[in-house]
Amino acid sequence: MKETKLKIAISQIAPVWLNKRETTLKIISQIDEAGAQGCELVVFGEGLLPGYPFWIELTDGARFNSTIQKEIYAHYFQQAVQINEGDLQTICNAAAINKTAVYLGCIERAADRGNHSLYCSLVYIDQLGMICSVHRKLVPTYEERLVWSNGDGNGLTVHSLGAFTIGGLNCWENWLPLARTTLYAQGENLHVCIWPGSVRNTEDISRFIAKESRSFVIAASGLMRKEDINCAIPHFDKIIANAPDYLGNGGSCMAAPDGSWVIEPVINTEVLLTATIDLNEVIKERQNFDPSGHYSRPDIFQLKVDRKRQCLIELDD
């Protein structure tokens, strides 16, 4: 009989804020710890590498043509991830060594879009250390739009992991019914939501998506404290002056296919949360409701999804 169980880990950590190298080392340490505990998947929060742009709301971020915002953005840009340049290779190596798949939220500097704009991306690395998908957040939320660009449908895909079929979305994308449906229809039964760090985002939607999809739902949040603001960051004094003690309080958790808690939301602490889940729990709940199977009506409803990577230029040499 095929194995139906999977051990997962949720890494709720703070970045070494806006420092790509040091945050990468912290991520690798968490992958090593998850691997040592026999976890087959570890999930990290949104934009963890090198960090969420918390400075915007603390420094009058919407002021047009602000020298302050330009200088902080330039620093952020230099610390962003260049996947095509191998910035994730050491993380991929750690995944392979530990035989642990990884979902990682990062800020991507995209060579295929001119190499100067930033995207909030969800990267899936398999147990062999291969990058299998990079999904750029479809619509940045509120002040995020001042530093992040609109993504596309590329990466709205699922992956096989043991007995499970896993997919994921960035932050408020999880509120988009059609984005969720795109993953459900591909057979998803383990859904990953990544967040920058707020229990108000995770405590309701995790259970709702679990009930809607009859899937396990992982909500992985970052953590960010005032003490994590690095004095080497441009305009540190202005950022720290308005910062609360917690800019992101975590809230990582996991819901079962019936909406009950596997792991209740955890706040205000760095922690590696683990659980073993069983596909049979999904099958039991799908008996009476399967949103893309026997309870769907494709003769009435159909969804068209463009998963091509969007690019400004197509060169035909």
Tokens describing residue 65? 């043509």
Query: Strand locations in the chain, DSSP E?
Result: 5-12, 41-43, 101-109, 118-125, 131-136, 159-161, 164-170, 190-195, 216-221, 224-225, 246-248, 250-255, 261-267, 271-278
**Phi then psi for 78, rounded to 5 degrees?**
-70, -25
Polymer length of the chain = 317
- Do residues 148 and 137 touch, judged by C-beta distance below 8 A? yes
Helices and strands of the chain, counted as H and E runs:
8, 14
Task: Name, in order, each residue with C-beta under 8 angstroms of 7's C-beta and a sequence gap of 6 or more.
Answer: 37, 38, 39, 40, 41, 274, 275, 276, 277
Q: Please tell me the distance from the alpha carbon of residue 95 to that of residue 39, in angstroms, as a whole number.
A: 11
Q: Using CA atoms, how far apart are residues 237 and 288, in angstroms rounded to an integer?
A: 57
Q: Would you name the residues annotated as active-site residues?
A: 46, 137, 171
